[in-house]
Amino acid sequence: MDRIRVIGGNRLQGRINISGAKNAALPLMVASLLTDEPLELANVPHLADIASLTQILRQQGTTCSMSGHGSGADGRVLQLHTKKVTSTLAPYDLVRKMRASFLVAGPLLARCGEATVSLPGGCAIGTRPVDLHIKGLEAMGAAIELEDGYVHAKTKTGLKGARYVFPVVSVGATENLIMAAALAKGTTVLENAAREPEIVDLGHCLQAMGAQIDGLGTSTITIEGVTSLSGARHTVLPDRIETGTFLLAAAITGGAVDLVDTRADLVGALLPVLAAAGINVAETPHGLSVERNGARHLAVDVETEPYPGFPTDLQAQLMAFLATAEGTSRIKETIFENRFMHVPEMMRMGADIETDGQLATIHGVQRLKGAPVMATDLRASVSLILAGLGAEGETLVSRVYHLDRGFERIEEKLSAVGAQIERLKD
C-alpha cells in the first residue's frame, strides 16, 4: 500500500487549480441512467471513486468514455450513454467500495420499475444507514424488501409523486429522490431537503435534460415528473472541499496561494472562521487568494452543520489548523458520530486534543512534530498531510488509498507550490 512522506516547514506559495467536485460528479454520472440519450460531463475529477462508479454504471449497460485532461469547462470530459439498461442489479463487490453508488437505486427504479442494490460501504465514519432513501422511495409507491444485504425495490405501475419530509437532512437521499421523482407520475415535494451546492448542480443538469424542478438550494424542492428525459452537456462545479483544504493548507504553512477555477460562495462557512483566526482570504477574478499575516493564528469554535453551515468534510482539516492556534478551540461534530478518528493520529504528532462524544477541545501548541501516522478515512487522511506540512520533520502517512478516492493528484498539486511531499510506492 502506498504511503505519503511529508517534510514539514515549507511555506506554500503559488497557484493551485481546483478540480471538479467529486460529490457533484458522482450523482451527475448516475443521472445518465435516467435517459437513453448521451450525457456529457466536463470538469470531471480524476479519482478512484469516479472509476468505481464507472464500473457500476458499465454493469448497468452504460457506455463510459473519458477524453481530455485538466480542469475547467474544457477539462476532462466523461461521455455516458445508457441506451438500454441491461441490468438493474448493483452487486455488493462494486457498491461496497463507495456509499454514493446507492444513488443508482432511484434512477433504476424510475426508468425500469425495479432495482436490486447492495447496501453500501464507504468510509468508516459512522453507521450511515440508507433508511431515508428507502422511506422516500416507498412514499413514491415502491415496494421494498431487504434480503441478504440487498435492497430489492419494485413498482408495478411506476413511481408516483409524493410529499416526503426528511426527518434529518441527507445529501444522498435528497439526490436519490430528486432523480427518481424526475420520471415519476405527478408532483413530488421534498421537505427539509439538503441544500448543498452539489445538489443544485445536479438539479441544473437534470433541468437541462428536461426535468421540471423548483426550489433548488432551498429546503423545499418540488419536482413535476415528466415521461422522458433527454441528453445534455454539463460542467461539474468546483470542489468546495478541495478548495477549503488548500485554503487551510496555505494557512497552516503561513503561505500565500492563489486558488484558480473555484468560487468564494462555495466556502462561505469557512471564510468567517479563517477571518476570525487571522487569515486573509480575498476573492480574485478566477477564484480566491489566501495569505497569513505572519502572526500566529487564533483559536476558533466551530460546529459542523448541513449546508450552508460548516461542512463536516472540512472538520478534520480545520482541526489540523487549530492544533497550532493560539488558545483553545472547540469543534462539535453534529453530522457523523465517529468522525474524530484523526484525533489520536494528530496526538501522535504532539497535538493536545480531548474528545468527549461529539465535542473536541483543541489546546493549541506552538508546533507539531512529524510522526508515522495512519489514515482512517478520506478527509482524515488529508488532515494528516496538512498537519505534516506545518510540522517539524518527517510525517509518514500510511493507508493513503482513502486519499485517492477524493483528492486529485494532491501530492503533485502541493509540491508545485513548494511542499516537500512524495508518494512512496510499496
Q: Are 73 and 22 in contact (CB under 8 A)?
A: no
If the CB atoms of residues 132 and 184 are measured against ligand UD1, the closer one turns out to be: 132
Instruction: Name which of residues 152 to 191 contact ligand UD1 (CB under 6 A).
Output: 168, 170-173
β-sheet bridge partners, residue 221: 190
SS3 195: coil
Buried/exposed 231-260: b ≥16 CB within 10 Å, e otherwise: bbebbbbbbbbbbbbbbbbbbbbbbbbbbb
312 near ligand UD1, judged by CB under 6 A: yes
Query: If phi over 0 gives left and psi between -120 and 50 gives alpha, with beta otherwise, what is residue 51?
Result: alpha
302 near ligand UD1, judged by CB under 6 A: no
Q: How far apart are CA 369 and CA 390, in angstroms?
A: 9
CB-count burial class (<10 Å; 0-12, 13-18, 19+) for 109:
buried
Q: Given candidates 10, 23, 155, 381, which one binds ligand UD1 under the rule CB under 6 A?
A: 23
Q: Given candidates 14, 87, 131, 283, which one binds ligand UD1 under the rule CB under 6 A?
A: 131
Least separation in angstroms between residue 339's CB and ligand UD1 is: 8
If the CB atoms of residues 47 and 371 are measured against ligand UD1, the closer one turns out to be: 47
β-sheet bridge partners, residue 147: 150
Q: What angle do CA 211, 35, 406 make, to 5 degrees?
A: 90
Least separation in angstroms between residue 309's CB and ligand UD1 is: 10
Cell 405527478 identifies what position? 186
Tell me which H or E stretch contains 201: helix 197-208
Q: Given candidates 29, 108, 130, 290, which one binds ligand UD1 under the rule CB under 6 A?
A: 130
Q: How far apart are CA 417 and CA 255, in angstroms?
A: 9
Q: Catalytic residue at 123?
A: yes
Q: Which three cell numbers stand for residue 317?
A: 482539516
Q: Given candidates 242, 258, 313, 333, which one binds ligand UD1 under the rule CB under 6 A?
A: 313
Least separation in angstroms between residue 123's CB and ligand UD1 is: 8
132 near ligand UD1, judged by CB under 6 A: yes
195 near ligand UD1, judged by CB under 6 A: no
Query: x/- site string to ligand UD1, residues 71 to 100, per CB under 6 A?
Result: ----------------------------xx
Q: How far apart are CA 194 and CA 13, in angstroms?
A: 36
Least separation in angstroms between residue 169's CB and ligand UD1 is: 6
Stretch that binds ligand UD1, among 127-135, 157-165, 367-375, 410-418 (CB under 6 A): 127-135
Q: Applying CB under 6 A, which residues contact ligand UD1? A: 23, 26, 99-100, 126, 128-133, 168, 170-173, 198, 312-313, 335-336
Residues labelled catalytic: 123
